Structure 1
Amino acid sequence: MTHPTTPTARICPNCDGFATAAITTGRRDRHGHRHTITANCPACHGQGTVPARARESARA
């Protein structure tokens, strides 16, 4: 008997699933820690996946 297969993940083609990145500003606070900002992928809004509807319309 075969096992049910799970559907493949709909990974965002723009960020390859790495939707959020921490970027250092180069500054440090008084404790010596670096200031960072987060940048999200503009295509998937930081989710890492693309809805099936958007994926199908991108193929056409």
Structure 2
Amino acid sequence: MSSRPPSPSSPAVSPAAAPRAAAAGAANVVLDSETLFAGQQTVLIRHQGEVYRLQKTRQGKLILTK
């Protein structure tokens, strides 16, 4: 898989800046998966009071489960 630089319509945003960008009305926030996972295989995401698990597979794909 090749890594493409973000387009002007979807700028890369650091995780620390993501809430500010979303609050400012940014149309598309792009988070790098390696930054999001921080060396782990799984991250938990709370969305509207529910917890979801985002997991990397051995093939490098992502699985989101509730």
TM-score, structure 2 normalization: 0.27
- Greater RCO, 1 or 2 (C-alpha within 8 Å, sep 6+): 1
TM-score, structure 1 normalization: 0.29
